[in-house]
A and B are shown apart, each in its own frame.
Chain A
């Protein structure tokens, strides 16, 4: 069974940084594109970024380009999202998901709150 467990969320001030992690199990992580999706309170999901199996390609939504970096460690079966220059509108539950274009399944999510 695929399991994805996100961690690293919390309260951070505007302009601050945070690194999210996603521990994967139950499938061959190194063979799978991976994706981060976020969902602001009361809103629909927003695709954030994805990364190829070996980390050689990655793509970002325009609003996070230059501020967020997606990466992976295939030896540790772990996906990361380094977030910097955080803004109020980055407040959301952040989910990691298996797959690059149709993310599924998703983890349970980790809440990131950007507030002073």
Chain B
């Protein structure tokens, strides 16, 4: 099965900062990678799919890049609403649609 890791596990940042979250897969998932945002007590919300495509209604300060085994989620100009936990998910092959362990973005 494809394993997915994220770094860092926690990130402290201030409003206006640019933050970068890294997601790595244990083998190539081509561009089949998505990013989700989750706030406490709520279901995850899709931000990015196919590595770099912005989901409908998602602000343009969110961007994704990468292919193969290394991917990044960038938030340019962090807003108060962005403090949350972020997960990547690979969907390269059925039965191994794995999520990463998450990156919590905290207020510095």
From B43, B49, B55, B89, contact of A109 by CB (8 A):
B43
**Which residues on the A side are within 8 Å of B89 (C-beta)?**
45, 47, 102
Interface of A is mostly: loop
Binds B, one of A7-15, A21-29, A57-65, A74-82: A57-65
Chain B residue numbers with a CB within 8 Å of A47 are 89, 97-99
Chain B contact residues, majority secondary structure = loop
Our count of residue pairs bridging A and B at CB distance below 8 angstroms stands at 50
CA distance A102 to B91 in the complex (A): 7
Number of interface residues of A (CB under 8 A): 20
Whether the Cβ atoms of A105 and B45 lie closer than 8 Å is: yes
Chain A residues with CB under 8 Å of B34's CB are 102
**Chain B interface size, under 10 / 10 to 19 / 20 to 34 / 35 or more:** 20 to 34
A101-B32, A102-B34, A104-B55 in contact; A59/B95 too (CB < 8 A)? yes
Chain A, range 8-63, C-beta contacts under 8 Å to B:
43-47, 50, 59-62
- 16 of the cross-chain contacts (CB-CB < 8 Å) are A43-B101, A44-B87, A46-B98, A47-B99, A59-B94, A60-B95, A62-B1, A62-B95, A101-B97, A102-B91, A104-B45, A104-B49, A105-B43, A106-B44, A106-B45, A109-B43
